[in-house]
Chains A and B, each alone.
Chain A
Amino acid sequence: MDFFFQLIRMTPDTFHNLMRQMAEGTWQALEIFIYTAIFSVPLGVLVALLRESPLKPVSAVTRFYQLVMRGTPLMLQLMFVMYGPYYMFGVSMNRFNACILAFVINYAAYFGEIFRAGINSIPRGQYEAGQVLGYTKQQTFFHIVLPQVMKRVLPPTGSEFLVLVKDTALANVIAQPQLFDVAKKTSGSMVSVVPLVIAAAIYLIMSAVVEMTFHRMERKLDYYS
């Protein structure tokens, strides 16, 4: 153990203090991750449906929203949501809420495209089979189409979740505390690479958990093709 502390050039106390801050940062990053995941996925389904709306203006507005969200830096969007209301109307946003809002509307735009591809991949005959059996349009979509869509979009959705794990670091730009923020500050104050290595390991572990979760979900839906 002494060898370990010599290697990282820290006293046990400093190390424990560092780890405590890292743990807190991890939890804060996880909060961003979880809230974004919870809100952006259902919103993504809505975006996909609006984009496919037979009403041209609805579809066009949705497409424009997606273009803006996917065509400008998320970092800039975070700044805009956080400081925009204050600069324009003198209203300040709660930092955490602004952070989640920016992440959710950004990720919903990407999920919208993934789900749209998934929805369009279900043969028209499935809708027709639902229709002739007397299901309403809503029943057909939620009970027949959507479960099949979920299976098909699992791989790209998993990928997007992996990106989200790492994107939580962007919250730094609006000074929302989280893992990257902790790593940056502690490595600077300690003049040490150790906090960066620890943060990298934690991001990797979080990613691995996400990857394994999606792998397991895919296996669970393997029973049909």
Chain B
Amino acid sequence: MYLLEAKQVHKSFGENHVLKGVDLSVAEGQVVSIIGPSGSGKSTLLRCLTQLETADRGDISICGRVMTKEENGRAVYSDKNQLRSIMLDVGLVFQNFQLFPHWSVLRNLTDAQVRVLGRSREEAETIARDLLAKMKLSEKEDAYPCQLSGGQQQRVAIARALAMSPKILFFDEPTSALDPELIGEVLEIIRDLAKQHMTMVIVTHEMTFAREISDRVMFLEKGSVLAFDTPEAIFADASHGRIQAFLSLLHK
């Protein structure tokens, strides 16, 4: 079963045609990485899928629920309640963490559970502490985000997203804002999630990592899908001349 199905998604900002008909399907338990040069529309695609931007055209369904459907050449969005329930099935990890600085780590993880999902405080705290333990951050529950390293902040942000029990988790360049020595600890967490068959869509510049954990890799360029294939095919196949050129540039 596909948890995410997007067909012919278009998005323009004024004259700038950023997404030119992107298709993406993600099956339950799959990990899909989206790679490509900067400005190729990777982040815009992710933002359309997480409702942070509205697509101009195309169909998007998440967890079997229609988010938007194309009618007469424009995307028609479902009603507010449907969009909200889709939102709750989805988690997003930002490049710049976007933790809430005025709350402790624990409150960052529990507040939405209580306020949005209506869980009891005790239940929310149990879930939060469990996740913090998995992130190896148990001793930091009373700390404030500004007291943590970038890697720790991003792990808290991942825990905050997971605390809402999403069915599919999106990552927007989760390691791009980190110092090189802190990237490993975040990738390790994502790797663990992949092993537990968390459905994930990851925009990343970490090619080795994408190759290692992905079931499918999408190469996006200038708003179009150049290839959507297994990592072996993407990274090894010489037939994707443009992709090879991009990868070799990265290695320089």
CB distance from A38 to the nearest CB of B (A): 24
Interface: B88 (CB within 8 A): yes
Residues in chain A near residue B100, CB distance under 8 A? 126, 129, 144
CA distance A123 to B98 in the complex (A): 9
CA distance A134 to B101 in the complex (A): 18
By the criterion CB–CB under 8 Å, are B164 and A134 in contact? Answer: yes
Q: A133-B160, A223-B144 are in contact. Are A143 and B98 (CB under 8 A)?
A: no
CA distance A9 to B160 in the complex (A): 72
Q: How large is the interface on A (under 10, 10 to 19, 20 to 34, 35 or more residues)?
A: 10 to 19
By the criterion CB–CB under 8 Å, are A143 and B111 in contact? Answer: yes
By the criterion CB–CB under 8 Å, are B98 and A224 in contact? Answer: no
By the criterion CB–CB under 8 Å, are B101 and A148 in contact? Answer: yes
Residues 74-128 (chain B) with a chain A CB within 8 angstroms: 84, 87-88, 90-92, 94, 96, 98-102, 111-112, 115-117
Q: A139-B115, A224-B102 are in contact. Are A132 and B146 (CB under 8 A)?
A: no
Interface: A135 (CB within 8 A): yes
Q: A151-B102, A224-B102 are in contact. Are A132 and B50 (CB under 8 A)?
A: yes
By the criterion CB–CB under 8 Å, are B102 and A131 in contact? Answer: no
By the criterion CB–CB under 8 Å, are A225 and B146 in contact? Answer: yes
Interface: A128 (CB within 8 A): yes
Residues in chain B near residue A151, CB distance under 8 A? 102
Interface: B1 (CB within 8 A): no
User: Which chain A residue shows the least CB distance to B117?
Assistant: A134
User: Which chain A residue shows the least CB distance to B163?
Assistant: A133
**1/0 contact string of A169-202 vs chain B (CB within 8 Å):** 0000000000000000000000000000000000
CB distance from B163 to the nearest CB of A (A): 9
Interface: A57 (CB within 8 A): no
Interface: B52 (CB within 8 A): yes
Interface: A147 (CB within 8 A): yes
Q: A224-B145, A224-B146, A225-B146 are in contact. Are A132 and B101 (CB under 8 A)?
A: no
**1/0 contact string of A200-225 vs chain B (CB within 8 Å):** 00000000000000000000000111
Residues in chain A near residue B96, CB distance under 8 A? 123, 125
**Which of A129, A135, A225 is within 8 Å of B98, CB to CB?**
A129
By the criterion CB–CB under 8 Å, are A134 and B116 in contact? Answer: yes
Residues in chain B near residue A129, CB distance under 8 A? 94, 98-100
User: Which chain B residue shows the least CB distance to A132?
Assistant: B92
**Which of A128, A143, A225 is within 8 Å of B94, CB to CB?**
A128
CB distance from B82 to the nearest CB of A (A): 14
User: Which chain B residue shows the least CB distance to A146?
Assistant: B102
User: Which chain A residue shows the least CB distance to B115?
Assistant: A139
Q: How large is the interface on B (under 10, 10 to 19, 20 to 34, 35 or more residues)?
A: 20 to 34
CA distance A86 to B151 in the complex (A): 67
Residues in chain A near residue B116, CB distance under 8 A? 133-135, 139
By the criterion CB–CB under 8 Å, are B115 and A126 in contact? Answer: no
CB distance from B65 to the nearest CB of A (A): 15
Residues 33-72 (chain B) with a chain A CB within 8 angstroms: 50-52
**Which of A132, A134, A144, A223 is within 8 Å of B52, CB to CB?**
A132
Residues in chain A near residue B52, CB distance under 8 A? 128, 131-132
Residues in chain A near residue B102, CB distance under 8 A? 147-148, 151, 224
Q: Indicate the member of A123, A125, A139, A224 with the most B CB atoms within 10 Å.
A: A224
User: Which chain B residue shows the least CB distance to A148?
Assistant: B102
Residues in chain B near residue A128, CB distance under 8 A? 52, 94, 98
CB distance from A86 to the nearest CB of B (A): 48
CB distance from B111 to the nearest CB of A (A): 7
CA distance A135 to B117 in the complex (A): 10
CB distance from A171 to the nearest CB of B (A): 37
Residues in chain A near residue B117, CB distance under 8 A? 134
CB distance from A148 to the nearest CB of B (A): 6
CA distance A134 to B163 in the complex (A): 12
**Which of B94, B112, B145 is within 8 Å of A134, CB to CB?**
B112
CB distance from B147 to the nearest CB of A (A): 9
CA distance A135 to B112 in the complex (A): 7
Residues in chain B near residue A139, CB distance under 8 A? 115-116
Beyond the given pairs A128-B98, A131-B52, A132-B87, 11 more chain A to chain B contacts, judged by CB atoms under 8 angstroms and listed by A's residue number, are A123-B96, A126-B98, A129-B99, A133-B161, A134-B88, A134-B117, A135-B115, A147-B102, A148-B102, A224-B102, A225-B146
Give the 10 A-B residue pairs with the shortest CB-CB distance, closest first: A129-B98, A134-B116, A133-B112, A125-B98, A132-B92, A224-B144, A224-B101, A225-B146, A147-B102, A134-B88
